[in-house]
Structure 1
C-alpha cells in the first residue's frame, strides 16, 4: 500500500461584500474536471509550510496570505482513490485578493462565494466547512478580522468583514462601541478618510491584543462558563 502526505489550502477572502473561497478545477485524475481546494503532495525535501506555499503558487499564481495557520489533519481510509493519503489542511485569510491564475494540475482557479459552493472532490467539502467555521469562531475571540482589512481601515470596513464572514447584519453603532471599547482590538491612527462623499471616517490599525475580552459573539452564541 502506498502512503503519502499532501497539503490542502482553505483560502478565504472578501469580494464584493461576500466571503469567498479559492477553488480550482482539477485538470488531471482523479476527479478530473471537479472543483477542489488548491493543494498537492509534499515533496521529500520540504516541510509542510513550504509545501503549502509552493502549491499555492503552482496552482493559482498567488503568493503570500494575510494570515496562515494549520487547520487540521485528515486521514480517513479511502479519502483518496490513489492510496493511503493523509492531508494537512491550512487556513489562509487574504486581504485584497487578486484574481488567481491557474497552473500546474489546475485547469482553472476562481474565488467562489461560500453560499454558492459546488460539490468538491475528495473530502474537500468537509475541510472547507471546517475552515469556514474556524474563521467564524476566531472572529469572536481574536482580532483576526483585521487580517481581511488593509493596514489602515475604518470601523465600517471592519464591520463589513464580520458581516461577510458571519453572514449576518450588525448594528453599526453597537458594533462601533464594542470594537472601540475592547482593549487592544484597534488603535486610532489620528488620520481620517478623505476625498469621499459624506463625513470623513476615522482610520484604525490592528491593536496588540492576542484575544478579545469581552468577545464579540455571534447572534445566539453564549459566553463560555468559567
Structure 2
C-alpha cells in the first residue's frame, strides 16, 4: 500500500495572565476547513526551516515575538485523523508572555480564557490543555514564573499569577518562602505606590534570573489538602503551598 508523505505544520500555544486569568492567544479562521473557529497561530513548515525557526517566524505574523519571554517545544501531535484531508503532523510549542507585556494583535487575533475556550479548530483545544499542564509542571521545579510575571511585582501579585496558572489556592507567605529558598527572588529596593486605603507600601521584587533553569528537580507545587492542612508526599524537595 502506497501512502502520500505527511505534511508538517508548527503551532504555538502562547499563554499569559490577563485580567487575573490564564489565557491563550488564538486567531479566527476565515477559510475552510473549520472556518469561523479559533485556532492556534502557526502554519506549514518550510523546506529550509527547522521547527523552532518556523514557529518564531509564524508567531511574528500574529504577535511581536520580542514580547514572548519563553518558547519551548511542547510535543508532536500525529494522530492520522487530527485534521481533514491529507495527513498533517504538528509540532507544537509553548510560548509565554509576561503580564506587563501588551503585544499588538491583528483584528482576527485575541486572548481567550483557557477555562472558557470558544469553538476551536481541529485538535487545538487538546494542545492548549497540554500547554497548560506543561506550564503547571514547570512552575513547580523551574524558575519559569519569570515568563508570566511582570518585571517587578509584589508578593501578593505574584501569588495571584501562580493561582491563575496552577488553578488552586496559593499562600503568598509560603510562595515567597519557597522561591526565596531557591534564590529566585530579590527585592528591587522600590515599593508599590500606596492605594486609597493607605497603609504600609508593599515591597517590589523581581526574579533573579530570566533564563530558564531547573531549581528543584523533584518539587511539586501542591494544592492544600481538604480542611486546609498541608498535603505532603514525604520527599524533602516537595513544595506545598497551602
Q: What range describes the TM-score normalised by the shorter chain of this pair? A: 0.7 to 0.9
Shift of 1:224: 8.1
The match for 1:196 among 194, 197, 218 is 194
Q: How far apart, in 2, do the equivalents of 1:24 and 1:39 lie? A: 10
Matched, 1:184 2:188: no
> Out of 25, 31, 46, which is 1:43 matched to?
46
SS at match of 1:187: strand
Unaligned runs of 5+ residues in structure 1 are none
In structure 2, C-alpha distance between the alignment counterparts of 1:178 and 1:113, rounded to whole Å: 28
Structure 1 residue 39: deviation in Å?
0.9
Deviations 1:186-221 (A, max 9, x none): 1233x1224332322223222359333483512167
3-state SS of 2:91 partner: strand
Q: How many residues align?
A: 219
Asked if structure 1 preserves the Cα contact closer than 8 Å seen for 2:17 and 2:164, the reply is yes
- 1:100–1:109: 8 Å Cα contact kept in structure 2? no
1:215 to 205, 213, 219: 219
Aligned counterparts of 2:234 and 2:14: Cα–Cα separation in 1: 29
**Partner residue, 1:137:** 137
Once residues 224 and 26 of structure 1 are traced to their aligned partners in structure 2, the CA distance between those partners, rounded to angstroms, is 48
Q: TM-score, normalised by structure 2?
A: 0.81
Distance in structure 1 (CA, Å) of the matches to 2:184 and 2:219: 10
Q: RMSD over aligned Cα, in angstroms? A: 2.4
